[in-house]
């Protein structure tokens, strides 16, 4: 049994704590947040910094993300789909009753006037290096097929099904991972100032010595890492009677807008991507653009109620790629940028194997069968090439 100290209780911190405590290790997690739940969901959110994971839409889109990420992200993401499903199934078997995960594929959509831009994106997906060839190809849908799949979508949209893509319910998943790791010592309201091999420097307390110090503080890991925050804004709509089975993403020359259905007749519309560390409330421009795009895709959203808006910062390293840094007594994982939910389980698995703490097997559920997908990715077992790609060294400031 190792003594492990984790700085940060976001997506990575909670997943690591849950997995390591199940493996019998003694785990303590420090986070300045007041507790495990999401901050209260007012209409606007001027509050103190908190995990980007709460704000995220929770799309698990390895293929769609090839539009603006490299094959490493796609490959890790494709592995993570099966891992999130296992996590959700295990949490359900342990008594969680809330829906945490759904896998019905996703749709890429384009209005006729934007077909040229959409085709350029699809061409990029098709020609992305090496790994892309092994992903299910986007499957074009004709008008009748689209209407059968998602009757609520505006007629006349061009559509492609990305089989196998999925979503998590971020707030519920974050809470469930904390609630089902009771042996973890959660130290809420405590900030870690530095993370060094075998030691976490806790504000107001001083050094806490451990066998392995883990730094997953997201944007809060400065100055140890050369991070920047990238602002993202989302809007929650409540629309009883409007039914959407799967996330949809609108291809547009200027915006990448997605609509993600959530339990309780909720829809998350997102997200802006702005090179700014401004955490102030959602701007009028972003709100108008996101909601106009959503309405153009689902006209029935006209009567939806705007129940929440939120802005947060995605943690990004200079190359926008995820990085694992492992050395004796120290593990850092960061730079998950716009793909943190997509990448976390595969990165955690690779990182724990790297530091000699392979995670205990989950319940051993069979791998998912992608709905509408043409084939399963053959490398669901972990790939050392991906690991090597990501075992780069942290960016010093």
Ligand X SMILES: Cc1cc2nc3c(=O)[nH]c(=O)nc-3n(C[C@H](O)[C@H](O)[C@H](O)COP(=O)(O)OP(=O)(O)OC[C@H]3O[C@@H](n4cnc5c(N)ncnc54)[C@H](O)[C@@H]3O)c2cc1C
Q: Is 11 in the site for ligand X (CB under 6 A)?
A: yes
Among 5, 32, 36, 373, binds ligand X (CB under 6 A): 32
Among 62, 138, 220, 345, binds ligand X (CB under 6 A): 220
Query: What is the enclosing helix (H) or strand (E) of 127?
Result: helix 115-127
**For residues 90 and 378, what is the distance between their CA atoms, to the nearest angstrom?**
23
Q: Is 8 in the site for ligand X (CB under 6 A)?
A: yes
Q: Is 55 in the site for ligand X (CB under 6 A)?
A: yes
Query: What is the enclosing helix (H) or strand (E) of 285?
Result: helix 284-297
Find all residues with CB under 8 Å of 17, minimum gap 6, and list them.
6, 9, 27, 29, 177, 178, 181, 184
Both tokens of 172, joined, read 């519920």
Q: How far is the CB of 252 from ligand X (least distance, A)?
A: 17
Q: How far is the CB of 61 from ligand X (least distance, A)?
A: 7
Q: Which stretch binds ligand X (CB under 6 A): 83-91, 148-156, 311-319, 352-360?
A: 311-319
Which residue lies nearer to ligand X by CB, 220 or 373? 220
Residue among 133, 108, 98, 70 nearest 377 (CA): 133
Among 315, 368, 372, 373, binds ligand X (CB under 6 A): 315
Residue among 23, 4, 393, 332 nearest 199 (CA): 4
Which residue lies nearer to ligand X by CB, 31 or 350? 31
Among 20, 31, 69, 79, binds ligand X (CB under 6 A): 31
CA separation, residue 96 to residues 174, 176, 216, 308, 373 (Å): 12, 7, 25, 25, 29
**For residues 282 and 235, what is the distance between their CA atoms, to the nearest angstrom?**
8
Among 138, 163, 218, 370, binds ligand X (CB under 6 A): 218
Peptide bond just before 271 cis, omega within 30 deg: yes
Which residue lies nearer to ligand X by CB, 51 or 121? 51
Both tokens of 307, joined, read 């129940």
Binding mask 156-175 for ligand X (x = CB under 6 A): --------------------
Q: Which stretch binds ligand X (CB under 6 A): 45-53, 301-309, 358-366, 389-397?
A: 45-53
Neighbours of 378 (CB within 10 A): 7
Q: How far is the CB of 156 from ligand X (least distance, A)?
A: 27
Sheet holding 166-168, edge to edge: 59-60, 166-168, 101-102
Which residue lies nearer to ligand X by CB, 111 or 249? 249
Among 146, 228, 339, 347, binds ligand X (CB under 6 A): 339
Query: What is the enclosing helix (H) or strand (E) of 177?
Result: helix 170-179
226-246: b or e for each residue (b if 16 or more CB lie within 10 Å)? Answer: bbbbbbbbbbbbebeebebbb
| Contact call for residues 190 and 203 (beta carbons, < 8 A) | yes
Is the backbone of residue 183 left (phi > 0), alpha (psi -120 to 50) or beta?
alpha
Q: Is 322 in the site for ligand X (CB under 6 A)?
A: no
Q: Which stretch binds ligand X (CB under 6 A): 46-54, 275-283, 355-363, 381-389?
A: 46-54
Q: How far is the CB of 155 from ligand X (least distance, A)?
A: 27
Which residue lies nearer to ligand X by CB, 185 or 363? 185
Q: Which of residues 229-288 bind ligand X (CB under 6 A)?
A: 232, 234, 270-271
Q: Is 102 in the site for ligand X (CB under 6 A)?
A: no
Q: Is 312 in the site for ligand X (CB under 6 A)?
A: yes
Among 19, 28, 30, 73, binds ligand X (CB under 6 A): 30
Count, residues near ligand X per rule CB under 6 A: 41
Both tokens of 92, joined, read 């359900």
Which residue lies nearer to ligand X by CB, 10 or 372? 10
Q: How far is the CB of 133 from ligand X (least distance, A)?
A: 23
Name the site residues for ligand X (rule: CB under 6 A).
7-13, 30-33, 50-53, 55-59, 191-192, 216-218, 220, 232, 234, 270-271, 312, 314-315, 334, 336-342
């Amino acid at each position: 049994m190792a003594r492990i100290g984790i700085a940060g209780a976001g997506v990575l911190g909670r997943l690591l704590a849950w997995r390591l405590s199940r493996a019998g290790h003694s785990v303590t997690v420090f986070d300045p947040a007041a507790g495990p739940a999401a901050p209260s969901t007012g209409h606007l959110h001027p509050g103190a910094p908190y995990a980007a994971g709460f704000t995220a839409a929770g799309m698990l889109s390895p293929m769609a993300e090839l539009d603006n990420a490299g094959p490493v992200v796609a490959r890790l993401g494709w592995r993570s789909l099966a891992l999130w499903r296992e996590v959700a199934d295990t949490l359900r078997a342990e008594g969680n009753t809330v829906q945490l995960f759904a896998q019905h594929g996703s749709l890429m959509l384009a209005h006729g006037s934007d077909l040229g831009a959409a085709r350029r994106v699809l061409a990029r997906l098709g020609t992305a290096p090496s790994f892309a060839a092994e992903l299910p190809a986007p499957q074009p849908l004709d008008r009748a097929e689209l209407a059968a799949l998602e009757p609520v979508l505006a007629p006349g949209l061009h559509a492609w099904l990305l089989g196998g893509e999925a979503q998590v319910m971020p707030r519920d998943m974050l809470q469930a991972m904390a609630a089902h790791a009771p042996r973890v010592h959660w130290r809420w309201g405590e900030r870690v100032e530095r993370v060094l091999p075998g030691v976490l420097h806790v504000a107001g307390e001083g050094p806490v010595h451990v066998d392995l110090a883990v730094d997953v503080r997201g944007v809060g890991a400065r100055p140890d890492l050369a991070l920047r925050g990238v602002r993202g804004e989302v809007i929650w709509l409540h629309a009883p009677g409007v039914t959407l089975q799967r996330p949809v993403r609108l291809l547009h020359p200027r915006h990448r807008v997605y609509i993600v259905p959530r339990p309780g007749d909720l829809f998350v519309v997102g997200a802006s991507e702005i090179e700014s560390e401004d955490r102030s409330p959602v701007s009028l421009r972003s709100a108008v653009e996101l909601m106009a795009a959503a309405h153009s895709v689902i006209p029935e959203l006209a009567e939806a109620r705007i129940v929440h808006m939120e802005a947060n910062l995605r943690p990004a390293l200079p190359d926008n790629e995820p990085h694992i840094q492992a050395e004796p007594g120290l593990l850092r994982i960061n730079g998950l940028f716009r793909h943190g939910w997509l990448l976390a389980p595969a990165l955690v698995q690779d990182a724990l194997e790297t530091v000699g703490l392979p995670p205990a097997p989950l319940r051993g559920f069979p791998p998912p069968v992608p709905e509408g997908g043409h084939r399963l990715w053959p490398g669901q077992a972990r790939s050392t090439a991906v690991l090597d790609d990501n075992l780069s060294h942290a960016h010093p400031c």
